[in-house]
Structure 1
Amino acid sequence: MKFHSTRNGAAPASLSAAICAGQASDGGLFLPEAYPALAAGDANDTGNLAAFAAAFLAPFFEGDDLAGVLPAICAEAFDFPMPEITIEDGLSSLELFHGPTGAFKDFGARFLMACLDRLGDPRAPFTVLAATSGDTGGAVGCAAEGRSAVRATILYPDGRVSPFQAHQLSCWEKPVTTLKVDADFDACQKLVKSAFADRALTSRHRLTSANSINIARLLPQAAYLAYAAQHHYANTGKTPGLIIPTGNLGHGAAALIARACGAPLGPVILATNANATLHDWAQTGHYEPRASIASIANAMDVGAPSNFERLAAGTLDLSGLTVERVEDGAIRARIKSDHQTYGYTWCPHSACAAEAFARLPKAARNAQPWLIAATAHPYKFADIVEPEIGETVAPPATLAAVLERPARALSCRAELGALADFLDQGADMLA
C-alpha cells in the first residue's frame, strides 16, 4: 500500500515513511491509494476491538516494515473499553473517553507512539511536535512518556484550555516537554507547520507530527469507528448514523475512511462549535479559513481545520455529510436538558453532537439509529458542566491520578525562532 499527498506534488510513500514524515514534502497530507473492503470474516468478529483493528488495518500495512508488529501495536493501543450507552430509543453515546487521559485521542496517540517507537532509534529519536487545542497534547504526552526512540514537544494556547487540561498537558515526565504559547490554537498549529517546512530543523530533530495530520492518527480512529458501527449493526441489524464533534476534522475524516472501507455507517454529521468555517463550507460550497473563536468547547476552537484537505482531495465519498454549528448557549442548555431528562452528562464537545441530534427533523431522527461520538469525560470540563447539572462530577481513577502529578510548562513566543531555540536547547532548559 502506498500513500499519496493531497497536493499531488510529492512521490508516493510507504506507510512507515508517511508516519515518520507526518506530512508530505509538498505540504500536503497523506491518504491511502485505496480503501480496502472490510472482509466478511473481519466484519463478523466484533468480540475484540484490538483483534478487529488489526484485521481492519492489515491491508494498509501490507508490505510495510510495521506489518509484522501490527497486532502488538493494536493490543497496546486498544486496551481500554469503548461502551455504547443507550440514551433514548434510537440514540446512543459511544463513550470514547475511558483511556488514561479521558479523551478519544488516547486511541490514536497510543497507536502513533507505538509505531514511532518501533521505527525510531534511541540514539537519534524522533521529535513529535503536537499543537493542541486541549486533548491531543495530553494523550500524546501520556503515550510518549518513558519511551526511548521518540520524544514529544507539546504546544498549547496559554489561557485557552480548561484548568484541568492545562495541568494534564504539562504533567508528563521525560521525554515529554510542554510549551505554553501566547496565542490561539491556529497560531500553535501554524508554528508546527512552519517547523516542518524548515528542512534543516526537521532533519536536525527528526521532526514528525502527532496531530491528526499524521495518517497514523486517522487509521486507528477509522478502525474503532468501523468496529463500533459493525458491532451496532450486528446487534440491531440497522446501519447507524454518526454524529462527531469536530474541530480539526481528523475524526470526521476517519469516519469517512471507515465508511469507504465498507463499515456500515450511514449519514455523518459534523458538530462544530461557534467556529463557522466548516458550517459555512457545507452551506455554500466555499471553504474560507479564518481566525478561531474561543468557546466553551475549546478543543474544537479551530478556524482553519487542517484535515479539510483530505475531504477536498476527492477520494472520499462526502454524500450524507452535513455540518451543524452549535453556539455556547445551546451547549450549556443541552448539557442541562439531557442531564435532567436522561440523567446523562455530556462534556461540552459531546453536547454539540447531542444538540445536533436534537435539531434533526423527526423523520431524520427516526430513519436510522444514531451514535454520538462522546469525545471526553465531563470531569475534564467540570467548571462548565457542574453549574449546569447542579452536581459535582467525580473524576475517574485515571484522571484523579493525573492531578497528583506535578506540572511544568515553559513559555514560548509564537515564532519559529523561539520554537527552534527550544528544540535545540530543550534538554538543557529542562535539566
Structure 2
Amino acid sequence: MYSARYRRNKILLVNSFGLLPAVLVFILCEWISDYYAVLLSLGIGIVGYFSMIGWFKKAHCQLIPQSTLIVLLAFSTFRGVADLLSFSVPNILLFSFPLFIISFWAYVMRPDYPVCRKCAEKYGSMNHRGLHDRCNCYEAHYIMGLVLVGAAISFVVTSFYWLFLFDENKETANRFFFYWFPLSLYVLLLVYECIRVVLVYDLLFSTSPNDLRDSYIRDMTIDGVDPGYKHCLVRLIVVSGSGLYLSSSHIQNDPYASPSGIDVPVYQSVPFSKRGLDDEAKRLAEEKLHIKNPKIKLLRESSGGNPDKRIAHFLLFLQERTALPELPDARWYEMQELNDTITGKKFYYLFKQEYLYLVRLSRIIWRYDENGYIRFHEGRKFTFNYLYEQNVNLTSGKWFRVSLYNEDKWSFMIREWFKRLRCNCFA
C-alpha cells in the first residue's frame, strides 16, 4: 500500500508518544514519595533537554516532546514549593495546569513558537518540505490542539471536584478523578491518533486512484523526484534593483515544471554530485539565461529533514536589466506591484513563499546590522542588489533573531546598558 520507508517512520508521527515521560512520572507518583517525584521529573527534564539537542539533527517534530519537558520541569517546581509550604495539592493539577499553559502558547503561536521557528530556520517552512515532513508538522499542531482541550478538561474537572466535592473518606471517587480520569483522556488521545495516522497514510500513500492524494503529492513533490532519490531542485530568482523577473511559461524542457502560476524563469532538478550547488546555479544561469560570470547568492536551502532531496533557492543579481535576453511570457515585476498582488492566485505557491521570505529578510538586513544596530543609508533607496553588496550569509538564522531582538526593542537597550556597565566595572 505504501513504501517500507513510510511504514518504518509511521510510529514517529504518533505525536502523543511525546507525552509519555510526563504520563510515566504521573503514574509513578502514586507509588513514590513527593521527594523522589520531584527528583525524577527534574532529572528527566534536564536529561531530555540535552537529548533534544542531538535529536534536532534527525528532523523529528520537537513540538510535543519539548513541551512535555517544560511541563516536567514546571511540575518539579510546583511540587517542591507545595511540599515546602506543606500545602496538599493533587498531582494532576500540578501537571494539567502547566500543560494547559504550554499547549495554549504553542497552539496560538504555531509557526512563531520558538521550537517551530528554530525548525523552520534549519529545515525550511512547511511548504518547502516533502510530503512526509509536512504531514508530521501538520499532525503535530493538530494533536497539540487536542492536548490543549484535554488539559483544560482535566484541570477544570479535577479542580471543581477538589474544591467542592473532595472527601478523604471517598477513596474510590478520589482515585477516579485524580488518577483514572486523566489517564483515560490520554489513552483516548493515543488511540485516536493511532487510528488517524493509519487512515491518513493509507490515503496519501495508497496506490489506488485518489484525487485528494494525487493533488497533495503533486504539490509537495515539486521537484518531481520520488522519496529515496538523491536530487535537488535548484531555483533561480532573478533580481535587479527593486524588481524580479518572472515568467508564466518556462524555458527549459522540465517534465516537473510548475503546473500553473507565474514563477521564476529557471529551475531544474539536478542530481547531487561532487559539484557544489553554487556551480549548478551558475551553470543554469549561463546555459538558460546566457549570463556570463553570473552573480549568485544562496537565499536559503530547504531539506525538510530528508537528506535525499532538497530545494536550493538562489538569487541571481543583475546590474543592468538589458543583460537578460527577452523570454516569452516574461517581464519585470516591481516590488510594489508584487506586494499588491502576491496574495492572489496567479502566482505559483512556492514563489509566494520565496518572495515573502526574500522581502522579510531584505528589510531586516537593510534596517539592521548583524548585531541588531540600526543602519543609516543617508537617503539611499532600497534595492535587492544591496544583498549582494553586503558580505553576509543570507542563510544564517541570526537575521531572524535580529528581527526579534534589535535596537528598536527596549529590551535591547537595557541589555546594552548592562553590557557597558559590566565592561566599565572590569576595565
Same fold by TM-score, threshold 0.5 exceeded? no
TM-score after normalising by structure 1: 0.26
Give 1 or 2: higher helix fraction.
Answer: 2
Give 1 or 2: higher strand fraction.
Answer: 1
